[in-house]
Structure 1
């Protein structure tokens, strides 16, 4: 998994990074809430680990920002010295999925992370996914619209699957390049725009079929489910 760690004590951060890396995860550490949010809101992570007490804001503030601005259920673990029942309840009520007190036992931390990964694993593990009139078969790598198989390239399929799995979420061009193309954020992003334009036509993304790809100026794209009567989003999209 690709994990973002918020920890202002450098020695602690290095220790956790080493533990996670040794066990097959990629981990990026951040010492301030602003640096953490700047990366998390523009890149793609599978799990977040938050400390509570950091220099510029609290871990609760960071969590609330994440839940308010990202309309998807990325798992969040608190790892902090605060261990009162009141603190634990507050973190869980704010949207945390798990809570560990420092110093965390290594085996327990890894077990909790692995458990969250199993519970929140991608839907792509299922063979058939249904999104309105669209059916995505992840084994055969086919997409049908109203029962008719669409003609798509392999990259079109990967991009479509990622869009539907993250509908309602703002996806930056850098994030799409990283997760769909496996490229770094330094690559020219026009290839994303080209594929998005083509997908709109090939998938028939319009109110009649219940979905649209909305371009968010200077940010990226968002796949929105639409109400067939009004043509408007069925849920309030995340903030742009």
Structure 2
């Protein structure tokens, strides 16, 4: 797993990174809330670990930013010295999935991370996924629209499935390159733009079929589910144009 850690004490950060790396996890550590939020917007992580008391903002503020601004259901664990019942309730109400008191006990920390991973990424995922008129067969790697098979390349399928699984989440080009193409180095992001343009045509991802790929200027893309009212309004605007 790739994990982002918010911890301003360097010794603590190194200790936690050591625990995670021994079990094969990659962990990036950040000392400020701003640097942490910037990283999770542009990189791909499987789990976030937050301290409460950091220099530029509280861990709660960071959590609110993750949940509201990124609209992202990534697992979040608080690891902090604050362990009163009131603090725990506040963190859980703000969107945390789990809460641990410092100092971190290696076995417990790893068990909590793995439990959250199993909950958010169940191994027994259904082979058939349905998204409105789209039917995705993950075993045969095929997609139908209104019962008609779509002609897709392997990369088209991977990208479409990733978009469906992350509906309404802003996906930066960097995240898409990493998760779909397996590329972590900086390359020409026009690769993503070209595939997105092609998917709009091939997949029928438009308001008439209940979805649209929205381009977020200078940031990336978001697959949005369209309500009937919203779809009708979009179609009306298109006809008027």
Aligned to 1:51: 51
Q: Does 1:116 align with 2:120?
A: no
Aligned to 1:238: none
Aligned to 1:237: none
How many residues align? The count is 233
Alignment partners' CA distance in 1, 2:70 and 2:35? 16
Q: Please give the per-residue CA displacement for 1:128-159, whole angstroms capped at 9, x wherever unaligned.
A: 11100001111111111111111100000010
C-alpha displacement of 1:229? 3.5
Q: CA separation of 1:160/1:227 partners in 2, compared to 1, >3 Å: closer, same or farther? A: same
Alignment partners' CA distance in 1, 2:61 and 2:185? 27
Alignment partners' CA distance in 2, 1:171 and 1:192? 11
Aligned to 1:236: none
Moved over 6 A (4+): none
Aligned to 2:32: 32
Q: CA separation of 1:131/1:123 partners in 2, compared to 1, >3 Å: closer, same or farther? A: farther
Could you tell me whether the CA contact under 8 Å between 1:128 and 1:136 is conserved in 2?
A: yes
Alignment partners' CA distance in 1, 2:228 and 2:59? 40
Give the TM-score of the pair, scaled to structure 2: 0.93
Alignment partners' CA distance in 2, 1:56 and 1:168? 29
Partner secondary structure for residue 111 of structure 1: helix
Q: Does 1:170 align with 2:146?
A: no
Q: CA separation of 1:124/1:230 partners in 2, compared to 1, >3 Å: closer, same or farther? A: farther
Q: Which has the higher contact order (CA 8 A, sep 6+)?
A: 1
Alignment partners' CA distance in 2, 1:111 and 1:156? 35
Alignment partners' CA distance in 2, 1:27 and 1:143? 35
Partner secondary structure for residue 99 of structure 1: strand
Give the TM-score of the pair, scaled to structure 1: 0.93
Aligned to 1:65: 65
Structure 2 unaligned spans of 5+: 235-241
Q: Please give the per-residue CA displacement for 1:37-82, whole angstroms capped at 9, x wherever unaligned.
A: 0001222211100000111111011001111112221110000011
Could you tell me whether the CA contact under 8 Å between 2:150 and 2:203 is conserved in 1?
A: yes
Q: Please give the per-residue CA displacement for 1:19-38, whole angstroms capped at 9, x wherever unaligned.
A: 11111211111011110000
C-alpha displacement of 1:185? 4.7
Q: CA separation of 1:123/1:194 partners in 2, compared to 1, >3 Å: closer, same or farther? A: farther
C-alpha displacement of 1:216? 0.9
Could you tell me whether the CA contact under 8 Å between 1:212 and 1:225 is conserved in 2?
A: yes
Alignment partners' CA distance in 2, 1:108 and 1:184? 30
Aligned to 1:153: 153
Alignment partners' CA distance in 2, 1:193 and 1:40? 21
Aligned to 2:22: 22
| More helix as a share of residues | 2
